[in-house]
Amino acid sequence: MTRLVWLNLAVLCVLAACVDPARGCRYNVREIGFIDVEVELYRLFVYVPQAVGAGEMGDLKNALDAASVDTNIRCEPVPAGGDPNHPASRFLSAHGIDSYPAAVMVSPDGPSRRLPLPADAPSLTEAASLSLEAALDSPTRRQILEKAADCYAVVLLIEGLQEDRNAAAREAVSDAISYVGEQLEFLPKTIAKGPEMVVLDRSSLAGEDILLWTLGLKPEDINEPCAAVFYGRGRWIGPLFKGELLTDANLLRILSIIGADCECGLDHRWLQGTMLPARWDQSLQQKVATSLGFDPESPMVKMEMVSIVRRGMGGLGDPGAPFGYQEIEVGGESAGSSHPSAGGFNNGTVGPAADLVDVEPPRTGGLILAVSFGGMVALVAAISAVVLWRAKRD
């Protein structure tokens, strides 16, 4: 029996060395959202007249490169009469461009829009630089980035025409935010500040055309309140909620994902979300580092996070596992309830293009701990039974 005791102790030591059940994944979804994986960039094509010489073309390229540092936009001058198979060529007819200069911005998701070039600018370089700056910054986008840098997430509420419906939408957003705030202590990894709301009112719509374009909206088409969830580096996650879909229950289906472990079976292809076109400057990066307790742009940290994202994009995992894919509908029977469930953080969500790509994240860190510890106990018990059987046989 002495040999049995020592063998059990040896097994426990090995398991303790191999498994850290209280730790789980080193990062949560929110933290992963602060890295830029360089595959989600906006493109700005500046179409240059034939009269512009090589020297001025080079100056334009250098100026745009300098102006786009710390942004998720990459700029490229496109000379007139160039390669007809160039990727920028297809946007000429799409936007009715028949004279140069002109500029078009293309989203990593595919949509494009023509950007105005100030006619009174002293040079094409100055005009393109001013157009780029206007595309990168706006008051509401800055608010979203500032808040997302140190809180759980941001819910953007875009007001519609009817004040009573705006009030109902504001209440739904507030209820969802309050509920998440009450659940922060149960997350696998602590997040100090809960979600916050940013309101885009009717009078500010015209100045936020780039933000609205990112969401697939035009100022003149907004008749009812809409809501979108952003986290990390200004990433839009989930669909655009409007009309009957703008409920606290549906918002919670998205918000619940952001606090989950980054390796709990979630598909990072849609978790990453489309980033807002914006400048991510040093002040925002410092704010994030202070909030997280580490710098996500540190080469070692970023390398580890990118590795996690790439694994998640590979579709790994057992669909039948507890944290695997679940098919639910946004709305449905639970849409009218006050909250999705008593547990709060165990609901599915939808992808950024409103596809029903739904997952069920872990409820709390305690569940992960229980599963890991339960597995350890079961394994030790099984090995002990085998060892005891062999000891009796001998």
pLDDT of residue 319: 31
Are residues 128 and 157 both part of a single domain? Answer: no
In a domain, 195, yes or no: yes
In a domain, 172, yes or no: yes
8 A C-beta contact, residue 359 and residue 267? yes
Are residues 258 and 232 both part of a single domain? Answer: yes
pLDDT of residue 388: 41
Are residues 190 and 287 both part of a single domain? Answer: yes
Using the 3D structure, point to which of 90, 116, 136 is the last residue of a domain.
136
Are residues 255 and 364 both part of a single domain? Answer: yes
DSSP structural state of residue 116? -
CATH label of the domain that carries residue 122: 3.40.30.10
The pTM assigned to this predicted structure is: 0.74
The beta strand positions in the chain, using DSSP E, are: 42-48, 73-79, 102-106, 112-115, 154-158, 196-200, 226-231, 235-242, 274-275
8 A C-beta contact, residue 184 and residue 153? no
In a domain, 37, yes or no: no
d(C-alpha 58, C-alpha 48), whole Å: 12
**Tens-digit pLDDT string for the chain (394 aa):** 444 334 344 333 433 333 343 445 678 889 888 887 666 799 999 999 988 888 889 999 999 999 999 999 999 999 988 888 899 999 999 999 999 999 999 999 899 999 999 999 999 999 999 999 999 999 999 999 999 999 999 999 999 999 999 999 999 999 999 999 999 998 888 899 999 999 999 999 999 999 999 999 999 999 999 999 999 999 999 999 998 999 999 999 999 999 987 655 555 555 667 899 999 988 998 998 888 887 777 778 778 777 777 665 554 333 333 223 333 344 543 434 444 433 344 333 333 333 333 333 333 333 233 333 333 334 334 434 443 444 445 4
The residues, ordered by sequence, that sit 6+ positions from 355 with a Cβ below 8 Å of its Cβ are 270
d(C-alpha 49, C-alpha 72), whole Å: 26
Are residues 203 and 284 both part of a single domain? Answer: yes
Are residues 67 and 208 both part of a single domain? Answer: no
Number of residues written out for the chain: 394
pLDDT of residue 14: 33
pLDDT of residue 303: 80
- What's the half-sphere exposure (Cβ side, CA atoms, 13 Å) at 174? 7
Are residues 125 and 151 both part of a single domain? Answer: no
Q: Beta-carbon neighbour count of residue 94 at 10 Å?
A: 11
d(C-alpha 384, C-alpha 378), whole Å: 10
In a domain, 114, yes or no: yes
d(C-alpha 278, C-alpha 285), whole Å: 13
Are residues 106 and 151 both part of a single domain? Answer: no
pLDDT of residue 35: 81
Rounded (10°) CA dihedral 105, 106, 108, 111: 130
Which tokens sit at 278? 């914006």
State which residues form the domain around 288. Answer: 139-368
Using the 3D structure, point to which of 136, 166, 189 is the last residue of a domain.
136
d(C-alpha 118, C-alpha 132), whole Å: 11
In a domain, 17, yes or no: no
Are residues 198 and 264 both part of a single domain? Answer: yes
Using the 3D structure, point to which of 136, 167, 192 is the last residue of a domain.
136
Number of independent structural domains in the chain: 2
SS3 377: helix
Among residues 118, 145, 139, 110, which one has the least CA distance to residue 353? 110
Rounded (10°) CA dihedral 163, 182, 296, 131: 0
- What's the half-sphere exposure (Cβ side, CA atoms, 13 Å) at 298? 12
In a domain, 181, yes or no: yes
Which tokens sit at 295? 């710098």
The residues, ordered by sequence, that sit 6+ positions from 182 with a Cβ below 8 Å of its Cβ are 344
pLDDT of residue 331: 52
The residues, ordered by sequence, that sit 6+ positions from 162 with a Cβ below 8 Å of its Cβ are 224
The residue assigned the tokens 């808040």 is 147
8 A C-beta contact, residue 150 and residue 290? yes
Pairing, β 196-200 against β 226-231: unpaired
pLDDT of residue 329: 44
Are residues 269 and 186 both part of a single domain? Answer: yes
- What's the half-sphere exposure (Cβ side, CA atoms, 13 Å) at 98? 1
Which tokens sit at 330? 């946004």
In a domain, 394, yes or no: no
The residue assigned the tokens 């240059």 is 48
Are residues 85 and 195 both part of a single domain? Answer: no
Are residues 310 and 215 both part of a single domain? Answer: yes
Q: Beta-carbon neighbour count of residue 117 at 10 Å?
A: 18
d(C-alpha 49, C-alpha 340), whole Å: 57
